[in-house]
Chain A
Amino acid sequence: MMVGTGIRTKIGLRMAMALLVALAIGSTELSGAGAAVEAADLTAEEIVARMDANAYMASAHLVAKLVIRAGSREITKQMEGWVVGNQKAMVTFLNPGDRGTKYLKLGDELWMFFPDAEDLVKISGHMLKQGMMGSDFSYQDALESEKMGELYEFKLAGVETYDGARCYVLEATALPGKQVSYPKRKIWVDCEKFVARREELYAASGKLLKVSRVEEVKEKGGRTYASRVVMEDKLKRGSSTTLIIEQVEFDVKIPDDVFSLRNLMR
């Protein structure tokens, strides 16, 4: 088949979204233990360093839900995921329409397994811009596993109140030579919890592509995490996806063979 290649066009329709795990927990959205300290007079680099440090986790196991909306229509997908660092992730879908569909991320590569066709597919690089499982999160959103501070140059644009919280406003421009999904970003970072409350994602031309916002933050084991994130694709009218983390365990021991083609095809 040709997903990944494109054709496997059952493709697109049954596409699972794997690594939102990494999105929700790993990449940008979180703050961690000890982050709830009032930060004053920090530079942009220091703010980003705190975000990056707090986002790091050794491993996680979670159960989450994706609510995908287009206008008045809505579908829900459920998934279970395992993540180690920012390089390994395995996600399996649990909802009836996608049950058994799995994703494996190792480094920057992604594989998908279609249980009905018993078929393993390596996702082509250019397909990574496509929405996973028909959601507003792209594969690349999830695959960007490097720390933000290693991908972008940041500028502190000011401090604003967003959704009732004082936030640093950071403007990010991709560093030369770095392959990123969005050449420019604007991020509202909670001054106390170092959670990115809102993020605007831009093309190189300056066109607004997507907006993500955190609707709910929870704490577990001394770690603060975004439990409800909404992503809106500004190129698609009335389109949004809400990622809801229902259960999560941090720093759990996950055997290496979980992240293998063998496990993907089981």
Chain B
Amino acid sequence: MRTTERYAVRKSTGRRVLPLHTAVRCPAAAVSLCLAAAFMLSCGTTAAQSTMDATTLPALQVGGEWQTGVYAAQTQGSWSGSVESMLRLKLRLGDYPWKLYADVGTTLGRVPGTDGDWTVTTELERAYLKIFLPWADLSLGKQQITWGVGYAWSPTDVFNPPNALGPDGLRPAVEAAVIRVPAGPLAYLSLVAARNERSSTQQGSGAAWQYGARYHANYGGTDWSLAAARDTGTTMVGVDAKGDLAVGDLALGWHAEVAHHAPHDGSSPWVEGVLGADRSWGGGKVVWAGEYFYNSRGAETQDSHTYTSWLAGDRTYPARHYVFTQLRYQHDEFTSVLGSVLANLVDRSAALTAGTTILLGNRWTLSLSATGLAGRPGAEFTGGAIPNASFSTPNVVLKARAAYNF
């Protein structure tokens, strides 16, 4: 699968990114699905029996989650689909000061809107070791590095930013070494060296490694952080904060994040910012949250949208102004429904999502969602402006996912 397709699929559907070089047309990956299921079942009993002893038994503790999902996309009147499965493992040996995490994902599918063959791909999505030293905690391997406080956008996260179309999903992991040094009960300094995946897939696009530092603290009930990073040809300096605002009976949660990016080649710097708020009613049964995203190098008109960087896998969004809003209703302890809108305010295209999550007992969770992409032809979320693409952006994406915890 080509790089452009890979990122386009992720961006248009919110699905996990299909791997670039690991696509294998072989039954082995299908077998891995079965192995995953078998492993899950074999571990399930042990985990269930030892749950309450998890903090006292000096034995190997195994836990994790198995997810499987079905995706269907309608593109220009025809439907295509895929099946994904992922096994997540967490290992810890007694009270030894380390933990090992691993996620393996398998996908059977093809790119929506193409006549390509069905392929089975397997990818080690995360695999990392956490070591707890007396003075710091160290994480080594392919992992998520979660910087910033934004939900749909996180401008200071130059390592693995969230996907605005699927912000609840896990961020794509990066190979990295992270050391976190505590500086008080509510403060720490995080130092990161991460391999830049995009640079390995783009010729001449910058350094192979990214480096960054982030200091997090709490002052007066507000969490805030200062961050700096040097990534592919750019130096980023940013700040984020999250707190509460109470005016009379009106109580709001708020968060803000700003990043200044300075290219090393002397071209113009740009600024990205997020301002968000949240509110709840009915004792938390109804929760609203919204974000506005500003991107100073984004286009101010539809005609001036450019997708060059985006198609190359860059994290850039093509427009200057976006909003994301989500409303969630907790029906009861087991069922919630939500609706969300992600909109490009410049070309007036949008992705609208509705979904529900249902707890099916202590171990199973079922999630269903539907996403519709709307806008004038040629707008960002309708995909018409993507030049020379060998695929089309779906109009509707349906997802059903079941997760089993053990």
Within 8 A of B (CB), among A198-235: 235
Q: Does B316 contact A (CB under 8 A)?
A: no
Are A126 and B90 in contact, CB atoms less than 8 angstroms apart? no
Are A2 and B151 in contact, CB atoms less than 8 angstroms apart? yes
Are A97 and B278 in contact, CB atoms less than 8 angstroms apart? no
Using Cβ atoms and an 8 Å threshold, which residues of chain B touch A69? 333
Are B151 and A8 in contact, CB atoms less than 8 angstroms apart? yes
Interface residues on B, range: 35 or more
* A80-B326 CB under 8 A given contacts A6-B253, A126-B280, A130-B284: no
Are A235 and B251 in contact, CB atoms less than 8 angstroms apart? no
Interface segment among A111-119, A151-159, A164-172, A186-194: the answer is A111-119
Using Cβ atoms and an 8 Å threshold, which residues of chain B touch A125? 244, 246, 251, 253
Interface segment among A33-41, A51-59, A254-262: the answer is A254-262
8 Å CB contact of A127 from B167, B255, B284:
B284
Q: Does A148 contact B (CB under 8 A)?
A: no
Are B146 and A118 in contact, CB atoms less than 8 angstroms apart? yes
8 Å CB contact of B185 from A63, A106, A131, A239:
A106
Within 8 A of B (CB), among A118-134: 118-120, 122, 124-127, 129-131, 134
- How many A residues, CB 8 Å from partner? 59
Using Cβ atoms and an 8 Å threshold, which residues of chain A touch B168? 1, 8-10
Q: Whose C-beta in chain A lies nearest to the C-beta of B289?
A: A7
1/0 contact string of B215-255 vs chain A (CB within 8 Å): 01010010100000000000000000011101000011101
Using Cβ atoms and an 8 Å threshold, which residues of chain A touch B31? none
Least CB distance, A167 to chain B, in whole angstroms = 28
* A78-B51 CB under 8 A given contacts A1-B151, A97-B405, A126-B252: yes
Bound complex: CA of A75 vs CA of B359, how far in Å?
9
Bound complex: CA of A135 vs CA of B279, how far in Å?
20
Are B182 and A129 in contact, CB atoms less than 8 angstroms apart? no
Interface segment among B7-15, B292-300, B360-368, B386-394: the answer is B360-368
Least CB distance, B273 to chain A, in whole angstroms = 17
Are A246 and B52 in contact, CB atoms less than 8 angstroms apart? yes
Using Cβ atoms and an 8 Å threshold, which residues of chain B touch A106? 185-186
The residues of A with any CB-CB pair to B shorter than 8 Å are 1-2, 4-13, 63, 68-71, 73, 75-76, 78, 80, 94-97, 99-100, 106, 109, 115-120, 122, 124-127, 129-131, 134-135, 138, 235-236, 239, 246, 256-257, 259-262, 265-266
